[in-house]
Every structure is written in C-alpha cells, then in structure tokens.
Amino acid sequence: MGLLVDGKWQDKWYDTKENQGKFKRESAQLRNWITPDGSAGPTGKDGFKAELGRYHLYVSLACPWAHRTLIFRKLKGLEQAISVSVVSPDMLSEGWEFDKDNHSTGDHLFDVSFMHQIYTKHNPTYSGRVTVPVLWDKKTNQIVSNESAEIIRMMNDAFDHLTDNHEDFYPAHLADAIDEINDEVYHAINNGVYKCGFATEQDAYEEAFDNLFIALDKLEARLSIQRYLVGSTLTEADWRLFTTLIRFDAVYVGHFKCNHRTIESYPHLSGYLRELYQWPGVADTVDFYHIKRHYYFSHTMINPTQIVPKGPGVDYSAPHNRDRL
Ligand SMILES: N[C@@H](CCC(=O)N[C@@H](CS)C(=O)NCC(=O)O)C(=O)O
C-alpha cells in the first residue's frame, strides 16, 4: 500500500500520528466532468463530451466507492457505453494490481501491471494516493475523475440523450434532501467504518464507533416509517448507503471492529438492505470473494495472519417485506 510522489511509487500507509490516531481521508484530486455537450461541469475543465465507447472505468469489486459506479453503470444501462477493468482483490506493496492469475480482468487498455501506472500515464509526475474508481478518457488519454460521488452524478444524466435511459436518482426536487442525508451518511457511516478500522488510538476509535451506531440507529428509525432514505423514491442516497451496508456484516463488524451490532440485527435496515440487493441487476455487482479477501488479506497491520473468515453467510435473497411500507 502506498502513494505516488512526483511520479515515483512509495510503499507507505496513512500516517495517523499527526491526527491523534485518527484516519483522515485525502480528497480526490481529479475532478472533471463528462457532460452532454463537452462543456465544463461544476469543477475542472471542459472537453469531456458524453460519447458511447469513449470512457473506461477502473474499479475494485471490493471497494465501496468503486461499487457505487458499477451500480450506476448497471442501472443507467451504460454497460456497453463504458468499458471496465477490475483490479485484483489484494492491495499490497505496489497498491492495486492487475494480476490475471488473481481475480483481475487485467488492464484492458494498456495491459500494465499496477494501477499507479495508470495515474502516471495520466501525469508522469503525479503525487497522491492511487485510488479506485478511476474514470479514463480513451480519446484524450487522461483521467477524467477519481471521485466516485461525482462519477455517479455524471452517469446519472450525462448520457441520457444517447441511451434513452432517463431514470433519475438525483431529481431536482429532492436534491437538497439527498445532499443532506449524503453528508451524514458519508461522515458517520461510509467513511465512519474506515475511521473505526484505521484508528490507531482508543479514543479515536471509540468516537468513530459511537458516531457510527448513533447514525445507524437514526436510519433504522427513519426506515421504519419510510421505504427509502428520502421517502418513497429510491435515490442516489440509497445506493451510497448500500455499498457500506452490504460490506458491514461480512467485513466491518469484525475487521474494522464495528461490533456493537450487525446490520442483520436491525429489522428495518436489514430488510432495506435486502430490497436494494434484490433490485434488478444489483446482485451482479456484489462480489463477496473480492470484498472479504481484499480487506482481510491486504490490511496486514490489522490482520497479520491474513486469514479470511468463512462467515457470516447472510441470505440477502430472503424476502425483504419492504413493499408493506
Ligand atoms: N474519494 C474517493 C475515495 C476512493 C478510495 O479511497 N478508494 C480506496 C479503495 S476502497 C483506495 O483505492 N484506496 C487506496 C489508498 O488509499 O491508497 C472516491 O470516493 O472515489
């Protein structure tokens, strides 16, 4: 695990010493947008017009942030339009790898061995962490974006005129409500589980743990009276929560010490999770082999034996009963 400094790979983990043992996630650096006409989006430069076949996604099937983009690719009917390469589950001294003998598709564009080589193809002197997902422009040979929250917004509407899929997971009249819940879910839950797992001091861990379960309890109450996070409409906010919930009992409870309770033990959150899992096309994007193997095998500072647990064997295909709400 490491990062690029002036285009050179360095094997170095996050330094929590400067932050009282707290894990601080770095902001994504590459923030351009694909738009229907190629004009600039809310951040970054212009020149990324929506075109079928022009863009490529680099993902890990283990990663909850990359998982969002795979779900949107599926739900928005973009599988033919946007090609994908999947990294191996193990993220070791060279970071994310394309090892075809280890559950990777290989790099379909350049056949390189490591994800950091994609970042240095974009910019030979790149400095920063080498994260997935990455959205690549095959036409101009550069990274469009490495921020999943923005990649899913582009996928939500930039290609609609080409695909005729007008399903809208961020409708204007719900935008404020979605942004508000996203903010809470991001800090306390999506990133909250990482703050628990990567904390290196007891207080830092306990603070993240308490905030995580306060937030989950709040969502349990909310989902006891409404079907989805912002009411009766399924939105982006639900998909952003889903990718953390589906990893929770398999990984975060044990590996990240988020063990106050499992998602299975929450009557409403567990039914909600099953409903989202059973949404047409979504189960195909969930790969528990990659999920469990990645976390338990890669984070040797947390799990030095690299043993991957066999359980928990939750049945996400069981009836969800959410249609009663
Ligand atoms: N802000 C990014 C975060 C992505 C991210 O942190 N991905 C993780 C995998 S789950 C990663 O690649 N980590 C490698 C590292 O931090 O060195 C996004 O949401 O797109």
pLDDT tens per residue across span 261-280: 999 999 999 999 999 999 99
Q: What is the distance in A from the centroid of ligand 1 to the CA of 57?
A: 14
Q: Tell me, yes or no, if 252 is annotated catalytic.
A: no
pLDDT > 90: what percent of the chain? 94
Same fold, 3-163 and 172-279: no
Q: How confident is the model at residue 325 (pLDDT cuts 50, 70, 90)?
A: confident
Q: Where do the structural domains in the chain lie, given as residue ranges? A: 3-163, 172-279
Catalytic one of 55, 58, 63, 252:
63
CB distance 129 to ligand 1 below 6 Å:
yes
Quickly state the pLDDT bin for 300 (edges 50, 70, 90): very high
User: What separation, in Å, do the N-terminal and C-terminal C-alpha atoms of the chain show?
Assistant: 45
Fold of 3-163: Glutaredoxin (3.40.30)
pLDDT surpasses 80 at 13? no
Characterize 277-312 residue by residue with b for buried, 16 or more Cβ atoms within 10 angstroms of its Cβ, and e for exposed. beeeebeebbbbebbbbbbbbbbeeebeeeebeeee
* Mean pLDDT for all residues in the chain: 97
Cis omega (within 30 of 0) for bond into 42:
no
User: Which member of 14, 170, 186, 194 is catalytic?
Assistant: 194
- Ligand 1, atom 5: nearest CA belongs to which residue? 131
Is the Cβ atom of 133 under 6 angstroms away from ligand 1? yes
Lowest mean pLDDT among 6-10, 25-29, 117-121: 25-29
**Residue located via tokens 């404020």:** 176
Mean pLDDT (whole number) for 39-48:
98
pLDDT of residue 279: 98
Residue 241: which of 254, 222, 256 has the closest Cα? 222
What is the per-residue pLDDT across 161-204, written as a single tens digit (0 to 9) for each?
A: 999 999 999 999 999 999 999 999 999 999 999 999 999 999 99
pLDDT of 11: 86
Cβ–ligand 1 distance for 229 under 6 Å, the answer: no
Name the pTM for this structure.
Answer: 0.97
Q: Is the pLDDT of residue 140 over 80?
A: yes
pLDDT of residue 128: 95
Q: Which fold has domain 172-279?
A: Glutathione S-transferase Yfyf (Class Pi); Chain A, domain 2 (1.20.1050)
Dig out the tokens for 17 from the structure.
């010493």
When pLDDT is cut at 50, 70 and 90, the band that residue 16 belongs to is confident
Active site residue 258: no
What's the gap in Å between 272 CA and the centre of ligand 1?
Answer: 26
- pLDDT (0 to 100) of residue 286: 98
Residue 26 pLDDT > 90, yes or no? Answer: no
Token pair of 61, please?
């099937």
CB within 8 A of 240, min separation 6: which ones? 68, 149, 152, 182, 185, 186, 190
- Report the pLDDT value the prediction gives residue 43, as an integer from 0 to 100: 98
Residue with tokens 């994260």: 131
Tens of pLDDT, residues 226-259: 999 999 999 999 999 999 999 999 999 999 999 9
| Residues 226, 207 contacting (CB under 8 angstroms) | no
